[in-house]
Structure 1
Amino acid sequence: MTTIDIVEATVEQALESALAMSNGDEHLWSLALVETDARGLRGLIWLSGMDYNDPPTTPWEWQRRRQMQDRYLIAKSRRDVATVLPNGLRLIRVFPEWVSGWPLWENFTAEYRLTGPSLGLTPELSDALFNWNEAWLARQEDDPLPAGWEDEGHRLVVRLRSALDGIAEVRPEFLR
């Protein structure tokens, strides 16, 4: 990881510099403003992305990580190279959709929509993911989420991360 200080620049100039230094998004990057708070302590205000080494814990942090990963993977796709993260892992996204099946997606690949069996998941986990998406479909678009549906999604993401450890990062995209 490299840190570069850009001094006396506009946000637009800093963003242009970040893109140029990343060689057109060939590398993950983020942009933060260094600030000294009222107590005299220095800290960062993230303008684009976040510290990639910090595991996201909130929907906002997942959105920031997503921003970094997506621009990186788009650039890899344009160069026609394997669309894996810098650590070599695939990126599997979890979110329900208004079609029957598994809520598993992998951007920038030939197999965009995935199934539990295609990922080598156990029948139990595969069925649980399928049924979780079906619970989403069983309601009308404007109906509230089924009771416990989001909590079950969190539990399934934890199980999926364990099943895909060393293979893929699992990104929950159903968080609010």
Structure 2
Amino acid sequence: MTERPSPNQSASEARRVVDPMTQLEVLVPPDITDERAIEHARKERNGELHRIRFFVDWGHNYPLWESFTDKYVMEPDDYGISLQIGQRLNEWSRFWQQHFDPFDGWDTQENKGFWLTTGDELVRLLEIEVYDIAVVLPQFRQGE
């Protein structure tokens, strides 16, 4: 069997479920049932899941992007994301805009570390929240 890990999880946070169609092991977030994991794998194989690109950019309130859509710049309501997670996504994006300069970089290493750690946590929370409809592609660490 070949493992197809989620880019958002470490092996210690997830368990493995075998997709009965492909016989590939998939890493499954905590609290996701085997049935949901298998259905998620089916939807992914068939191209039925949204692919949420997770990164920040100037002038945008949320780190949610989806290529090949009419909208591209997405918001929590587009995916049915809870108010609590939506607020945290907005705060995380604002933190970046307040503490990162495109020419000079981060104002402190502590702020950079906090932002990266929080981003990893938000990706995991988002992945669980949208598990039945989307795959989350963390792209916020590129060029860190």
Q: Confirm or deny a common fold (TM above 0.5).
A: yes
Q: TM tier, shorter chain? A: 0.5 to 0.7
- Equivalent residue for 2:50, pick from 90, 106, 110: 90
CA RMSD in angstroms, aligned pairs only = 2.2
Q: Say which SS state the counterpart of residue 175 (structure 1) adopts.
A: coil
Shift of the 100–112 alpha-carbon distance from structure 1 to 2, 3 Å rule, reads closer
Matches for 1:1-176 after TM superposition, within 5 Å: 54-57=4-7, 85-87=44-46, 88-139=48-99, 140-141=101-102, 142-144=104-106, 146=111, 147-176=113-142
Q: Post-superposition shift, 1:100?
A: 3.3
Q: Post-superposition shift, 1:86?
A: 3.1
Separation in 2 of the partners of 1:121 and 1:100? 17
AA of the residue aligned to 2:139: E
Q: Post-superposition shift, 1:165?
A: 0.8
Normalised to the residue count of structure 1, the TM-score between the two structures is: 0.51
CA contact (8 A) 2:54 2:137 kept: yes
Separation in 1 of the partners of 2:71 and 2:60? 16
Q: Gaps (5+ residues) in structure 2?
A: 9-42
Deviations 1:32-81 (A, max 9, x none): xxxxxxxxxxxxxxxxxxx7x521559xxxxxxxxxxxxxxxxxxxxxxx
Q: Gaps (5+ residues) in structure 1?
A: 1-50, 59-83
Deviations 1:136-162 (A, max 9, x none): 111322232624100000000000000
Separation in 2 of the partners of 1:108 and 1:85? 16
What is the percentage of aligned positions where both structures have the same residue?
29
CA contact (8 A) 1:94 1:172 kept: yes
Structure with more contact order per residue of length (Cα contacts < 8 Å, sep ≥ 6): 2
